[in-house]
Amino acid sequence: MQPLADRVRPKTLSEFVGQKQILSPDKILYKSIKSGQVFSMIFWGPPGSGKTTLARVIANETKARFLEFSAVNAKTSELKPIFEDIRKTKKATERVIVFIDEIHRFSKSQQDAFLPYVERGDIVLIGATTENPSFEVIGALLSRTRVFVLERLTNDDLKEIINRATKDKTVGLGEYRIKFEDGALDYLIEGANGDSRIALNALEIAVNSKTGKNINLNIATLQDALQKRALMYDKAGDEHYNTISAFIKSMRASNIDSALYYLARMITAGEDPLFIARRMVVFASEDIGMAQPTALVVANAVFRACETIGYPECQENLAHGVAYLCKCKKDRSAYNAYFKALDDVKKHGNLPIPLEILNAPTRLMKNLGYGKDYKMYSNDSLLPEKLKDQRYYIE
């Protein structure tokens, strides 16, 4: 028998719960679905937020042919013949939606394989990812798709999903008379941490552990069903940003114990090691900077180690790198100087560059004074005239 979470998946937009920020009637995605004019897109959101369900709903609402694959077990060498067959045989009016779950697991070269079929309109590609598409999806594919951000489901969303599942007599648990004892429903919702799949799986396990049609569920039963209460952490919610902020601030304060604690907390919660390593690379330039320039070399080495070794071994590389970055002296002078310069660029626009440092590849440009009086070594300001007395970098 199919799991409850799969059985009660909504099939229409009216049944879909949550994600009003992209699915309210005035939004482009909602309008495109209702008009049947859907386009290639990427769904970025945490587990259990409805990415797969929404892709299926779109196919159902638009009467499209739907092909579903997961990058975990599919190979592009297997997909290309399927796409070629679609290209050759599909009718002009036919719409084929290809859904790729965890599309970020395909390498950049593998993602290249989708481009010609998306570009020609042979397929409507819907990719789903828990990772930031800016880093995990190739630019060429991003430029041909629209990214929609799905948010962690709210407690009210989860309550609605659970209530529907308990009352549905066709595919849900409506044959039982389920009663949540004091605090039990709230405990299930909190333990699911915004993930509808976790909530429904735990609910089904708890119900199956009982006998008869009258089911009373208490906190102890649900605690057992959840096995262990997940850390309150999701990759697109507040706690995600709170934890990475605490991690960065601990390194900035040179507090090794705190930094290692928040590192362990993120790793335990399932954070992508590459996300952590990327933040360390940024930190090496932003906060350590000129005080110890080799910090950037070390941070890049940690990132590369995470890429090549992977979890769980790479957590040792992360710990090593964190301890090193904590112990480094800190200097934000380069960082601060750059953003002061950036403010002037935004404020003044493209001010004229001094003639003496302009390139002069032609005789005309030389006659106009381009490159005149240029000195390789000079203490004179080379900033535009309006900013010639400005100083950004202060040692």
Q: Is residue 8 part of a domain?
A: no
143 and 206 in one domain? no
56 and 125 in one domain? yes
138 and 29 in one domain? yes
Q: Which CATH number does the domain housing residue 160 bear? A: 1.10.8.60
Last residue of one domain, picked from the residues 149, 170, 200? 149
pLDDT, tens digit, for every residue of 106-129? 877 788 888 888 888 888 999 999
What percent of the chain clears pLDDT 90, i.e. is strictly above it? 38
Which two tokens mark 97?
């939606």
The amino acid that residue 272 corresponds to is: D
In angstroms, the CA 128 to CA 109 distance is 18
144 and 24 in one domain? yes
Q: Is residue 394 part of a domain?
A: no
Mean per-residue pLDDT for 181-193? 87
Give start and end residues of each alpha helix (H) in the chain: 4-7, 20-23, 28-35, 51-61, 76-89, 108-112, 115-120, 133-136, 139-142, 155-167, 184-192, 196-208, 219-226, 238-252, 256-268, 273-283, 294-309, 314-327, 333-348, 363-367
Q: Is residue 292 part of a domain?
A: yes
Mean per-residue pLDDT for 73-90? 83
Q: Is residue 233 part of a domain?
A: no
140 and 71 in one domain? yes
85 and 48 in one domain? yes
Helix axes 294-309, 314-327, angle to 10 degrees: 170
Q: Is residue 392 part of a domain?
A: no
Among 84-88, 185-189, 238-242, 263-267, the minimum mean pLDDT is found in 238-242
Q: Is residue 286 part of a domain?
A: yes
Q: Is residue 12 part of a domain?
A: no
Q: Is residue 260 part of a domain?
A: yes
Last residue of one domain, picked from the residues 110, 132, 149? 149
Question: 23, 50 in Cβ contact below 8 A?
Answer: no
Q: Which long-range contacts (CB under 8 A, 24 or more apart) does 208-212 make?
A: none
**Overall domain count for the chain:** 4
356 and 254 in one domain? no
pLDDT, tens digit, for every residue of 26-79? 999 999 999 988 999 999 988 888 999 999 999 999 999 999 888 877 777 788
Last residue of one domain, picked from the residues 117, 134, 149? 149
Provide the β-strand partners of residue 97: 66, 124
140 and 162 in one domain? no
Mean per-residue pLDDT for 80-86? 87
CA-CA-CA-CA torsion sign (209, 215, 221, 227): positive
Neighbour tally for 240: CB within 10 Å: 18
Among 136-140, 230-234, 312-316, 345-349, the minimum mean pLDDT is found in 230-234
Neighbour tally for 227: CB within 10 Å: 10
Confidence of residue 368 (pLDDT cuts 50, 70, 90): low
Question: In terms of Cα–Cα distance, which of 317, 294, 292, 384 is closest to 347?
Answer: 384
Give me the pLDDT at residue 324, please.
98
Q: Which CATH number does the domain housing residue 131 bear? A: 3.40.50.300
**Which residues fall within 8 angstroms of residue 324, CB to CB, at 6 or more apart?**
295, 298
167 and 114 in one domain? no
In which domain, by residue range, is 163 found? 155-226
209 and 106 in one domain? no
112 and 91 in one domain? yes
The answer, yes or no, to whether residue 310 has pLDDT greater than 90, is: no
270 and 219 in one domain? no
